[in-house]
Structure 1
Amino acid sequence: MPDSFVTGIDQQTQEQMCEELNARLAQGIDLRLAVKQAHWNLRGRGFIGVHELLDEVSARLGEGTDMMAERVALMGGFARGTTQVVAEKSGLDPYPVELTDIEDHISELVSRFKVYGKAVRESMDAADEAGDEDTADLLTEVSRMVEKDTWFIGANAAT
């Protein structure tokens, strides 16, 4: 393992946090790809607004995964974000690649965002219990972004 630049947290805790963060990294990358899949293929009333929103959401997911990957690296771990690792470790349902209807995309995305949001909160709790306040804080920030984006996407659903 490379050098750790974190002080005040034992190696075992750092390794545990690297596992948690890598699990969320895989899911976050998978979710970001699902967002882009929807962005490229959705059609229907409100297209341009949802299309542009999904670009913004994708960028925020990228920020969150980048923060998690960098935290792993500074704790002396290896960020594991290749497509092969993501496919193996994400745990999110595969995104349907032949959808076009905006409502269907919104439903599929909101469902996945909720799964991811719950997992981020569970990792946040694990970091808190392990005494790694910095990782818990980072995951809190990611959780806030994910919940807000879940709302932004879900609010586009027809009522």
Structure 2
Amino acid sequence: MSSAKPRDIKDANRKAATRLYPTRNDIPEKQREQIVALMNARLAELIDLSLVIKQVHWNLKGLQFIGVHEMLDGFRAGIDGHVDEVAERLVQLGGTALGTTQSVSQNTSLEPYPTNIHKVVDHLKALADHYAATGAAVRKSIDDTSELGDEDTSDLLTGVSRTLDSNLWFIEAHLQEGE
């Protein structure tokens, strides 16, 4: 049985997560460190958004329930695919993907999702805000990774951005009904 204290484990995990592992990837280490940190932030937001989508999916009530409920299944699958791509890319660069609930909670820039709402329209408004915030962070990271000389990561994030914008469009179309 280990004699490690929780704080010792947290400190060891933090050090391991920030250390780059050897790779033959020719992007300079200094840039890779910045890209890995940036991608871990996007990973946290995408995992957060994925969990939010499930929160909405489970708790919708009212008119249009079934249509929105089923739409969210596809949204979740698409985001989960991007979560995997982002995590794998940062590992390819020598980093450690930080996907635990504790890491996500600490690293997401998204506002906490309200758990006291149930109406379809209320969920769609809150979900649209989360999609918009995630999309803005991803678009900034497209530019940042390009400036850091990593067009592959920039391209990957462009695909993520397209999915986020497409899903946001569907959500906003539901909200514009009758306006």
Which bracket does the TM-score occupy, shorter chain normalised? Answer: over 0.9
Q: Does 1:29 align with 2:47?
A: yes
1:132 corresponding residue in structure 2 = 150
**Aligned residues with identical type, % of pairs:** 44
Bigger relative contact order, structure 1 or 2 (CA pairs below 8 A, ≥6 apart) = 1
Match of 1:3 among 22, 35, 38: 22
1:105 corresponding residue in structure 2 = 123
* Separation in structure 2 between the aligned mates of residue 72 and residue 3 of structure 1, nearest angstrom: 13
* Separation in structure 1 between the aligned mates of residue 24 and residue 49 of structure 2, nearest angstrom: 29
* Separation in structure 2 between the aligned mates of residue 3 and residue 96 of structure 1, nearest angstrom: 42
* Separation in structure 2 between the aligned mates of residue 135 and residue 5 of structure 1, nearest angstrom: 16
CA deviations on 1:95-132 (whole Å, 9 max, x unpaired) are 11121100000000001110100000001100111111
1:44 corresponding residue in structure 2 = 62
* Separation in structure 1 between the aligned mates of residue 44 and residue 75 of structure 2, nearest angstrom: 17
Q: How does 1:22-101 map to 2 (within 5 A)?
A: 22-101=40-119
Q: Which has the larger radius of gyration?
A: 2
* Separation in structure 2 between the aligned mates of residue 66 and residue 6 of structure 1, nearest angstrom: 20
CA deviations on 1:69-108 (whole Å, 9 max, x unpaired) are 0001111100011100111110211111121100000000
Assess if the C-alpha contact under 8 Å between 1:121 and 1:139 holds in 2: yes
Uncovered stretches (5+) of structure 1, i.e. residues with no partner:
none
**Structure 1 residue identity aligned to 2:75:** V
SS of residue in 2 equivalent to 1:91? coil
Assess if the C-alpha contact under 8 Å between 1:5 and 1:75 holds in 2: no
SS of residue in 1 equivalent to 2:174? coil
Q: Does 1:149 align with 2:156?
A: no
2:9 corresponding residue in structure 1 = none
* Separation in structure 2 between the aligned mates of residue 18 and residue 152 of structure 1, nearest angstrom: 31
SS of residue in 2 equivalent to 1:48? helix
1:13 corresponding residue in structure 2 = 31
Uncovered stretches (5+) of structure 2, i.e. residues with no partner:
1-19
Give the paired residue count: 158
